[in-house]
A and B are shown apart, each in its own frame.
Chain A
Amino acid sequence: MDLLNALVALANFVIIPALSYGSQLALGALGVTLIYGILRFSNFAHGDTMAFGTMMTILVTWKLQDMGVSLGPLPTALLALPLGIAGTALLLIGTDSAVYRFYRRQKAAPVILVIVSMGVMFVMNGIVRFIIGVDDQVFADGARFVVSARGFREMTGLSEGLVLRTSTVITVATAIVTVAALFWFLNRTRTGKSMRAFSDNEDLALLSGIDPERVVRVTWILVAALATIAGVLYGLDKSFKPFTYFQLLLPIFASAIVGGLGSPVGAIAGGFVIAFSEVTVTYAFKKVLGYALPDGLEPSGLVQLLSTDYKFAVSFAILIIVLLFKPTGLFRGKSV
């Protein structure tokens, strides 16, 4: 029995990966939830928006790498991020005035907007594939580890290593900064307050002189920033492949619904609920239990509840449980 090593193994294989995946999902779900709160539809193009933002950032990163610019131990992509966000914001505002605005003026049913977003998804998916192709792109550079497995073992004398990758630290730090900035913006600035007012009661907001088009524009810019940051962090952590980003749609929506569609706090909580369940359920606990249980009781099998291929099943199962027992989500989002 060796609880310390068990804890280190648990942190290394479950807690740290789930923390960084959860931050990425939370940022993605915040984008979905903002669109839902202000524009009142589920945006199916969100995964592809993330892919587009990441692609823009990768292109700028490549350019910077060519010019020999780097951030030392940090990935160059962080430097390229603002330009990536700007490009995505332009695309989203352009899409809004070319596509969504027409239906907003018509006061079309939300489900029509969902179908329209499906068309937008097709187009964005096509653009991304057209420009960068369908293959994996690795664009992370700089130092790989903050703490390496060997360094940790030498430092502590434990037999189990703890790896802390640079991308993990950057993911969590960036997510905290982004979320703090977003909440400051929504709660403290005039524009943010007008956005919340618009989300709560559209008619009342219009009566008090809030310009709806401005609110919508600011929303798209925020969504562009959130989607690009989420996409770039995911790409730094794993790798960039357009189809994977499309598939992220399910866990992201699950996070937003678990937390309550339209509720920003809920989106963050939902992201971590989904990420922790996914990693816990698909991790083989053989090693952790081998350390934690007394000698002679070690498990013989992998003690893995579900194979990693079924990670979507986890988001789906949680989604179903929430729909069955608490359709408004944990933080009581907008109507059912």
Chain B
Amino acid sequence: MSVPVKNTLLFLVVFGLIAATGVTSSWNVALGIVNMGLISAIMALGVNMQWGYAGLFNVGVMGFVALGGLGSVIVAMPPVGEAWAAGGLRVLLGLALGVASIAAAVLAWTRMAPGRARAAALIAILVVGFIIFRRVFDGGVAEVEAINPASTGYLGGLGLPVLFSWPVGGLLAAGAAWFVGKTALGLRSDYLAIATLGIAEIIIAVLKNEDWLSRGVKNVIGIPRPVPYEIDLQNSPAFVDRMTAWGFDPVTASSITVKLAYSGLFLAVLLALLWLAQAALASPWGRMMRAIRDNEVAAEAMGKDVTRRHLQVFILGSAICGIAGAMMTTLDGQLTPGTYQPLRFTFLIWVMVIVGGSGNNFGAILGGFLIWYLWVQAEPFGQILVGAITSGMPEGSWLKAHLLDSAAHMRLLTMGVILLLVLRFSPRGLIPER
């Protein structure tokens, strides 16, 4: 069997599995899997750029995804005028002062001659800067958060169409990636992993606690949509007439139409990114990246700036994760910082890349769909399996109740076992790099 035929078959099998869900349970569920599968595929594409092209180990995917989600709040939510009037400018001024004092500290460090004077100046600038920053910033935050805390209590966004938030989410993620990459790249490979692990936790902590920015754990709900609402479709006579004429139930048809509209948007983004990624991989830049990955010393000897190229690809991959994060928040219509879990948003994406085939963009996409499908289905399958195992046990036994309760945790175990098996027996994944 030739390679393209095999790959097409693999994709057909995965879509067949999803379609089977559509037939056996409902098309709504199946389309839900497809939509999240598309988003997962984009995240996997981003991680694959970092790992597959360059061999960079990023375990902070969750943070970049969450920053993308913040992007859609900042872009799409309507601004809260009262909050801006109360303390918005003060908050911004505080942040600007904070950035300015860090910039001054960096300037002092680079411009002054090494010695006691430099250290003293650095500490003085940072301490004074911090005190001024807190003085200005804390007051502004209190003023903003006091405005109607039950429904707003934050600054809101720019009120622009939500589609703009996708590139903005990418830019936010790229900024964070620049900061992490600048410090941790060029050192041991493990250091990047630990630094990204840290930045992800911090981004989530910021989203959870800075109520003026994203309402924290109170969640931002009702982010505007790029597609029509189900209820509007159901109220539109033209839509109801057409669907009844085609023999569909208008209520079901409306939610399927909305999901299909999302799928169309996501597919367009995925195809565009895939095209860009493939073109990059085939270009001299892509060859250079693989050369660096395969032998850093040789590439450096040939005059390639390894650290700079690593920084570049790290920022690009993180930006793609940010775009996917903004898309996911758009799909959910809400930003819920409490739901970001590293096992779900960082490590699951890694399973997708490794299982699909690291270094191959099609592999990453296949992995995205397949692993998302398994992640969704592992729970019902686990329930059935545990149900079968425990059916022989006496009713009301302690072990039976415990096993039934724990079936939900089968997912992590399944994912871990899949990852270990693939790494051991097929380390190049389902669609290996050519």
Contact = CB atoms under 8 A, between A and B. Distances in A.
Interface of A: 41-42, 44, 99, 102, 110-112, 114-116, 118-127, 129-131, 133-134, 246-247, 249-250, 253-254, 257, 261, 305, 307, 309-310, 312-313, 315-316, 319-320, 323-324, 327, 335-336
Most-contacted residue by chain B among A44, A250, A316 (CB, 10 A): A316
B413 A133 contact: no
A316 B420 contact: no
Contacts of B369: none
B416 A257 contact: no
A246 B343 CA distance: 10
A316 B201 contact: yes
B221 interface: no
Given A115-B350, A133-B406, A247-B201, A123 B420 contact: yes
Nearest to B418: A119
B205 A310 contact: yes
B179 to A, nearest CB: 9
B190 A254 contact: no
Interface residues of B, number: 44
Nearest to B350: A118
B409 A307 contact: no
Given A316-B199, A320-B195, A323-B183, A102 B424 contact: yes
Given A122-B413, A336-B187, 7 more contacts: A111-B57, A119-B416, A123-B412, A249-B197, A257-B194, A319-B195, A320-B183
Contact of B190 (A114, A118, A125): A114
Interface of B: 55, 57, 59, 130, 183-184, 187-191, 193-195, 197-199, 201-202, 205, 208-209, 342-343, 347, 350-351, 354, 405-406, 409-417, 419-420, 423-424, 427
Contacts of A319: 194-195, 198
B381 to A, nearest CB: 14
A119 B420 contact: yes
Interface of A, secondary structure class, is helix
A320 B197 CA distance: 12
B190 A110 contact: yes
B261 to A, nearest CB: 35
Given A133-B405, A257-B194, A309-B209, A122 B202 contact: no
Contact of B202 (A99, A125, A253, A312): A312
A324 B110 CA distance: 13
24 contacts: A110-B189, A114-B189, A119-B423, A122-B413, A123-B412, A123-B413, A123-B420, A126-B409, A126-B414, A130-B413, A133-B406, A246-B342, A250-B197, A250-B201, A257-B194, A261-B190, A309-B205, A309-B209, A316-B195, A319-B195, A320-B183, A320-B184, A323-B184, A323-B195
A130 B419 contact: no
Nearest to A98: B420
A254 B405 contact: no
A323 B406 contact: no
Contact of A254 (B189, B198, B209, B412): B198
A294 to B, nearest CB: 20
Given A123-B420, A129-B412, A316-B201, A118 B209 contact: no
Contacts of A323: 183-184, 187, 191, 195
A315 B205 CA distance: 13
Contacts of B130: 305
A122 B419 contact: yes
Ranked nearest first, the 4 interchain pairs of A and B with the lowest CB-CB distance are: A122-B416, A126-B413, A123-B416, A126-B412
A316 B57 contact: no
A119 to B, nearest CB: 4
Given A312-B198, A320-B195, A114 B57 contact: yes
Contacts of B412: 122-123, 125-126, 129
A231 B413 CA distance: 21
Nearest to A106: B427
Nearest to A334: B188
A310 B209 contact: yes
B195 A116 contact: no
B194 A120 contact: no
Given A111-B189, A323-B191, A327-B191, A116 B423 contact: yes
Contact of B205 (A112, A116, A133, A313): A313
B190 A316 contact: no
A125 B184 CA distance: 28
B350 to A, nearest CB: 7
Nearest to A252: B194
B194 A335 contact: no
B343 A125 contact: yes
A335 B190 CA distance: 12
A116 B57 CA distance: 12
Max chain B C-beta neighbours (<10 A), residue from A122, A246, A324: A122
A210 B416 CA distance: 33
B194 A118 contact: no
Q: Which interface residue of B55, B208, B405, B416 has the most chain A CB atoms within 10 A? A: B416
A296 to B, nearest CB: 20
A42 B417 CA distance: 20
A15 B241 CA distance: 73
A299 to B, nearest CB: 12
B209 to A, nearest CB: 5
A192 to B, nearest CB: 25
Contact of B194 (A41, A115, A122, A253): A253
A324 B184 CA distance: 8
A115 B354 contact: yes
Contact of B343 (A111, A122, A335): A122
